[in-house]
């Protein structure tokens, strides 16, 4: 391997590592976020863990996209909440 | 109020303490009062690099235990009244030291100094987290090695999430000959990966190894000295003069220097 390609190879390796690190982050955040949001939403809705879908993904522009979706069959009555 | 700067890296052995000592020395020579704080409890070595290991009477833990006042634990350099260190202890379980306790000590000493440089422990665990709340400005030290840059990037993310408003990085142990021949990561690519401002480049220099053996500051007139002087001026005076570690390897003479360095 010549020197120029060695530098390019090293930089490519580093770039891939950093991208993998960032992609790994949303999965960890997903788990923590889901449990916390579920805790809050359960005060208002009859929700099960599998009813809630949270997705944090890394877009090509470097921004994270966050989407929260939930299906529930019942909303708690206002009197019960208060 | 003193300007507090955390010197950190993520990866160990990249030269945090060396940068802390030499940067502090040169800033103090400019005329500012500088305190170097050893934030590495249990594995302290700031005092050793400074050559002050035999002068320690009290350390941070003694202050925390009430055996002395914070000012009594501060040791002033024999040759430089503007430069002092606050040593960490090597005998205590670092978990016994709380972040709020160190902050209280730093706050107490704040009025006596213009700059407080905090030498961070390696890693991103408890020791690192403990010193995070001491400042809002950080100097991230890295070397041009893939593992060091990757760890630096992680640390930068943590610092950003912790509310750090000023983030700069220092490229330490840069080999101008390898950068020119393409055998090392280029400075521009490291800056791109880290996404923060480059404030200094310190070349790989035997003088720094000598300094670590003897203790104290580096000899004037060496490449390392000029590089640290540029770094200190950039930090303290807001200049943007980055030491060019490739300069002496450019041109015909530089070409022979590169060959000679490979042979030797």
- Read off the pLDDT of residues B77-122 as tens digits, 9 standing for 90 and up: 988 999 999 998 776 666 677 888 899 999 999 999 999 999 999 8
pLDDT surpassing 90 at residue B212 = no
The dihedral over CA atoms of B128, B129, B134, B138, expressed in degrees to the nearest 10, equals: 60
Closest CA to A72 of A38, A45, A50, A39: A45
Please, how many CA atoms are within 13 Å of residue B59, restricted to the half-sphere of its CB? 23
Per-residue pLDDT, averaged over B142-167, amounts to 94
Tell me if B153 and A10 make a contact (CB, 8 A cut-off): no
| Number of compact structural domains in chain A | 1
Q: Which residue of A has its CA nearest to B181?
A: A3
Closest CA to B121 of B88, B147, B156: B88
The shortest CB-CB distance from B193 to any of A6, A7, A14 is to A14
pLDDT score, position B70: 93
Closest CA to B28 of B119, B117, B138: B117
pLDDT score, position B27: 96
**Residue A27 phi, psi dihedral angles, 5° rounding:** -65, -40
Tell me if B182 and A17 make a contact (CB, 8 A cut-off): no
Q: Which residues pair with B7 in a beta bridge?
A: B119, B139
**Chain A residues within 8 A of B184 when measuring between CB atoms:** 7, 10
pLDDT score, position B30: 94
Cβ within 8 Å of residue B19, ≥6 positions away: B7, B139, B141, B170, B172, B202, B228, B231
pLDDT score, position B93: 67
Q: Which residues pair with B115 in a beta bridge?
A: B3, B34
Per-residue pLDDT, averaged over B249-264, amounts to 85
List the domain range (segments joined by +) for residue B98. Answer: 3-263
* Confidence class for position A50, pLDDT limits 50, 70, 90: confident
pLDDT score, position A34: 84
Per-residue pLDDT, averaged over A5-29, amounts to 82
How far apart CA B64 and CA B56 sit, in angstroms, is 16
**Chain A residues within 8 A of B154 when measuring between CB atoms:** 21
Best-predicted range by mean pLDDT (A54-68, B152-166, B206-220): B152-166
Q: Which of A69-73, B118-122, B207-211 has the weakest average pLDDT? A: B207-211
**Chain B residues within 8 A of A10 when measuring between CB atoms:** 146, 184-185
Tell me if A6 and B182 make a contact (CB, 8 A cut-off): yes
pLDDT score, position B4: 97
**In 10 A of CB B43, how many CB atoms?**
13
A18 in contact with B, Cβ within 8 Å? yes
Q: Is the Cβ–Cβ distance between B133 and B39 less than 8 Å?
A: no
State the CATH number of the domain containing residue B68: 3.40.50.300
How far apart CA B216 and CA B183 sit, in angstroms, is 32
**Chain A residues within 8 A of B150 when measuring between CB atoms:** 14, 17-18, 21
CA distance, residue B14 to nearest chain A CA (Å):
17
pLDDT per residue over B1-60, tens digit each? 899 999 999 899 999 999 999 999 999 999 999 999 999 887 888 988 888 888 899 999
pLDDT surpassing 90 at residue B75 = yes
pLDDT score, position A21: 80
CA distance, residue A80 to nearest chain B CA (Å):
38
B207: tokens are: 């003088």
CA distance, residue A61 to nearest chain B CA (Å):
15
DSSP string, A35-64: HHHHHHHTTTB---GGGEEEEEEE-TTS-E
Q: Is the Cβ–Cβ distance between B176 and B246 less than 8 Å?
A: yes
List the domain range (segments joined by +) for residue A33. Answer: 3-81
Which burial class, exposed, middle or buried, applies to B135 when counting CB atoms under 10 A from its CB (0-12, 13-18, 19+)? Answer: buried
pLDDT score, position B231: 97
**Chain B residues within 8 A of A4 when measuring between CB atoms:** 182
pLDDT surpassing 80 at residue A27 = no
pLDDT score, position A17: 86
**Chain B residues within 8 A of A18 when measuring between CB atoms:** 150, 153, 193
| Number of compact structural domains in chain B | 1
pLDDT surpassing 90 at residue A38 = no
pLDDT score, position B43: 81
- Whole-model pTM above 0.90? no
SS3 B234: helix
pLDDT per residue over B159-170, tens digit each? 998 899 999 999
Tell me if B183 and A7 make a contact (CB, 8 A cut-off): yes
A35: tokens are: 């449990």
pLDDT surpassing 80 at residue A54 = yes
Per-residue pLDDT, averaged over B217-235, amounts to 92
Q: Tokens 């009197």 appear where?
A: A79
The shortest CB-CB distance from B185 to any of A7, A17, A21 is to A7
Buried b (16+ CB within 10 A) or exposed e, B48-65: ebbbbeeebebbbbbbbe
């Amino acid at each position: 391997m010549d020197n120029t390609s060695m530098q390019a190879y090293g930089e490519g390796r580093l770039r891939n590592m950093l991208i993998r690190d960032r992609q790994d982050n949303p999965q960890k955040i997903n788990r923590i976020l889901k449990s916390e949001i579920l805790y809050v939403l359960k005060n208002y809705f009859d929700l099960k863990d599998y009813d809630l879908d949270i997705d944090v993904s890394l877009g090509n522009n470097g921004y994270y996209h966050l989407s929260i979706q939930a299906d529930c069959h019942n909303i708690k009555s206002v009197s019960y909440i208060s | 109020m003193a300007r507090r700067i955390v010197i950190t890296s993520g990866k160990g052995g990249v030269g945090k303490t060396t940068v802390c000592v030499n940067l502090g020395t040169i800033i103090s020579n400019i005329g500012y009062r500088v305190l170097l704080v050893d934030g590495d409890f249990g594995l302290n070595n700031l005092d050793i690099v400074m050559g002050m290991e035999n002068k320690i009477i009290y350390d941070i833990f003694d202050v925390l235990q009430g055996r002395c006042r914070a000012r009594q634990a501060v040791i002033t350099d024999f040759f430089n009244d503007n430069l002092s260190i606050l040593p960490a202890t090597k005998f205590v379980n670092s978990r016994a030291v709380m972040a709020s306790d160190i902050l209280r000590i730093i706050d107490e000493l704040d009025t006596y100094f213009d700059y407080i440089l905090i030498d961070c422990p390696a890693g991103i665990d408890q020791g690192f987290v403990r010193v995070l709340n001491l400042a809002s400005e950080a100097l991230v030290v890295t070397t041009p090695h893939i593992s060091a840059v990757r760890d630096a990037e992680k640390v930068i993310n943590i610092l950003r999430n912790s509310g750090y408003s000023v983030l700069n990085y220092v490229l330490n142990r840069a080999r101008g000959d390898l950068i020119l021949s393409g055998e090392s990561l280029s400075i521009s690519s490291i800056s791109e990966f880290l996404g923060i401002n480059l404030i200094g480049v310190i070349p790989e220099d035997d003088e720094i190894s000598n300094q670590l053996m003897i203790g104290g500051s580096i000899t004037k007139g060496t490449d390392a000295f000029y590089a640290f002087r540029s770094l200190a001026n950039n930090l303290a005076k807001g200049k943007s003069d980055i030491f060019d570690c490739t300069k002496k390897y450019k041109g015909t003479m530089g070409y022979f220097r590169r060959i000679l360095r490979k042979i030797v």
